[in-house]
Amino acid sequence: MVFSSAVFLFAFFPVYIAVVALVRNIKACNVLLTVMSLLFYAWGEPVYILLMLFSIVVNYFIALPAEKYRDGDSLPKRTLLSLAVIFNLTALGLFKYAGFLASTFNSVSGASLPVPQIPLPVGISFFTFQTMSYVIDAYRGTCNVQRNIGKFMLYVSFFPQLIAGPIVKYHDIEKQLDCRSTSVFKIADGMRRFIVGLSKKMLIANAVGSIVDKIYSLDGLDWNILLAWTAAILYSLQIYFDFSGYSDMAIGLGKMAGFKFLENFNYPYTSFSVREFWKRWHISLTTWFREYVYFPLGGNRKGELRTGVNRMSVFLLTGIWHGAMWTFVVWGIFHGVFQLLETYLIHPDKWKKPLAYLYAMAVVTVGFSIFRAESIGQALNILGQMVAGFRFTDVGLITFRGLLTLYNLFILACAFVAMTPILRDTADSLALRYNAKWAVTCGKYAASVFLMALCMMSIASSSYNPFIYFRF
C-alpha cells in the first residue's frame, strides 16, 4: 500500500485519523497503531510480514541482556553484538544481494551457479537498519532496553516510516512510545505536512518522472546532449520530490499520532558543495552511517589517510545500501571521490557562490545519471552524450521538441521554486513583518486544501504512480 493510492487515502487514512483523534489512552493507541501497521505491511507483502516479525523477535531477545553487559568490553557483549550484526546483515544480504553476488561470481569466474530470484521485501533496508541500531544503542547505553515487545514492535513496524523511511533511531522516539500527546492542532498540522508531501509526489515527481521514462525508453542511438542533460536534471528533480515527498508524508502522519520524526531533507539543491549536499540529503541515512560506521572506524581521529579510507568506505556502503546493481556501487564511489577532493584538494566554500553552486549541482546531476542507469554500459553512454552528444537524429529532436510544452515548463518552474525555501521564508517574513501569523497559517491551510484537490484529480486521472525508494 502506498500513501498516494486510493485505498490508503479513502480507506486506511480516515481510520488512522479516527484512531489518533479518539483513542486517548497511550497503551490502547499503541496496540491499535501496531495492528494497523501490520495490516498496512501485509496489504502488499502478506508473506514477508513473517520476516519482519522474525527480525523483531530476534533483535528484541538479543538486546534483552544489554544492561548486564553494557560496561566494559566483555566477551558476552562482543558476542551478542556480533550476533545482531551478522543476523541483520545476513537477512539483508540474502534477500537483497544473493542474486547479484551469484551473477557477479558467475561473470568473473565463468561458473554457472544458480542465480536465486528472491523478491525484495519492501522496506527491508529501512527496518533492518532500525533494528540493528537499536541493539547497538542498547549495548552502548545510548537508550534503555525495551522490555515490552509490543512497544518494540510498534517502533519497528510503525507504518509511516516502515517502507521508505526516514530511518528512525530508537533513542529518538524512546520516550514518545510511553509519553506523547496529540491535539486538533497537531493533527491538522500533521495533515498539512502530509498534503505537502503528497503534492510533491503526485504533482511534481510523477509529472517529471513520466518525461524521464519517455526519454529512457528511446534507443541509445537517439540520445543527444539535449536529451541527456534534460533526463539528468529531471531525474534529479523526480528522485528528490519523490523521496522528500514520502518523508514529508511520514513525518506528517507521525505528528498526527504525537510522534516527532527528525527531518530527512533540508533543501539539498541549495548546496554549494557535495559535502554540503550530503548534510542536507537523506539525513537519516547519512547520520546512521556516521554513527554506526564512520565513528567506529575511527572517524577523522586517526590521520588523513585513515580519514579518507573511512569516508570512502561510508560512501561505498551508501551505494551498496541502495541496491544490488553496479551502478549504485559506482554512484557511491563517485560521491566518495568528490568528498575526498573537497577535503584535501578543492575547496568550493572559497569560490564565488554561483560557481560553487553550478559545480555542486553538476556533480549531483551527473551522479544521478549513473544512479538511474540500468547498467554500467547505459551509464557510460549517457555520460558520453552529456559531453559529446552532438549527433541529432530525427527521433531525438522530435522527442526533445515534444517536451517543450507549456505544461511541462510550468511544472519545471514549480519544481525549481519548491526545491528552495523561498515559499517558507516568504511566509515567515510576512508573518513577522505584519504580525499576521494567524493569517499566514490560514493561508497555508487554504493552499493545502487546494493542493489536496489537485492530488485527488491526479489520482483519478492517471495510473502513473511509482515510488522510487520502494526499490531500496
191 lies in the same domain as 98 = no
Question: CA-to-CA distance for 294 and 311, rounded, in angstroms?
Answer: 7
Least confident of 57-66, 72-81, 351-360, 414-423: 72-81
pLDDT of residue 163: 84
Question: CA-to-CA distance for 380 and 384, rounded, in angstroms?
Answer: 6
**Which residues make Cβ contacts (< 8 Å) with residue 337, sequence separation at least 6?**
312
Question: CA-to-CA distance for 449 and 248, rounded, in angstroms?
Answer: 16
pLDDT of residue 70: 79
Decide if 66 contacts 137 (C-beta within 8 A).
no
pLDDT band of 76, cuts 50, 70, 90: confident
pLDDT of residue 155: 96
pLDDT of residue 230: 96
Whether residue 341 lies inside any domain: the answer is yes
Measured CA to CA in angstroms, residue 470 lies from 137, 164, 269 at distances of 27, 6, 22
Question: Which of 125, 148, 179 is the C-terminal boundary of a domain?
Answer: 179
pLDDT band of 101, cuts 50, 70, 90: confident
252 lies in the same domain as 142 = no
Q: Write out the DSSP string of 7-39.
A: HIIIIIHHHHHHHHHH---HHHHHHHHHHHHHH
pLDDT of residue 213: 93
* pLDDT tens sequence across 347-370: 998 999 999 999 999 999 999 999
293 lies in the same domain as 151 = no
Whether residue 19 lies inside any domain: the answer is no
Whether residue 444 lies inside any domain: the answer is yes
190 lies in the same domain as 126 = no
Q: Write out the DSSP string of 91-122.
A: HHHHHHHHHHHHHHHHHHH--------PPPPT
308 lies in the same domain as 445 = yes
Whether residue 277 lies inside any domain: the answer is yes
Packing angle of the helix pair 149-157, 26-44 (nearest 10 deg): 50
Least confident of 228-242, 367-381, 391-405, 454-468: 454-468
Residues spanned by the domain of 435: 186-471
Residue 430: CB atoms within 10 Å: 15
Question: CA-to-CA distance for 132 and 271, rounded, in angstroms?
Answer: 31
Average pLDDT, stretch 224-247? 95
* pLDDT tens sequence across 239-254: 999 999 999 999 999 9
What is the number of alpha carbons within 13 Å of residue 217 lying toward its C-beta?
7
Greatest Cα pair distance in the chain: 73
154 lies in the same domain as 232 = no
pLDDT of residue 51: 92
* pLDDT tens sequence across 290-335: 999 999 998 888 888 888 999 999 999 999 999 889 999 999 999 9
pLDDT of residue 335: 97
440 lies in the same domain as 420 = yes
Whether residue 291 lies inside any domain: the answer is yes
pLDDT of residue 239: 96
- Active-site annotation holds for 322: yes
Q: Please give the mean pLDDT across all residues of the chain.
A: 91
Whether residue 395 lies inside any domain: the answer is yes
**Which residues make Cβ contacts (< 8 Å) with residue 438, sequence separation at least 6?**
none
Question: Which of 154, 179, 204 is the C-terminal boundary of a domain?
Answer: 179
pLDDT of residue 281: 96
Q: What is the 3-state secondary structure (H, E, C) of 259-300?
A: CCCCCCCCCHHHCCCHHHHHHHCCHHHHHHHHHHHHCCCCCC
Decide if 236 contacts 373 (C-beta within 8 A).
no
pLDDT of residue 469: 63
Count how many domains the chain has. Answer: 2
**Gyration radius of the chain over CA positions:** 23
pLDDT of residue 470: 63
- The alpha carbon of 472 is separated from its chain's Cα centroid by a whole number of angstroms, namely 9
Q: Which three cell numbers stand for residue 222?
A: 537517439
From the candidates 171, 282, 322, 335, which is the catalytic residue? 322
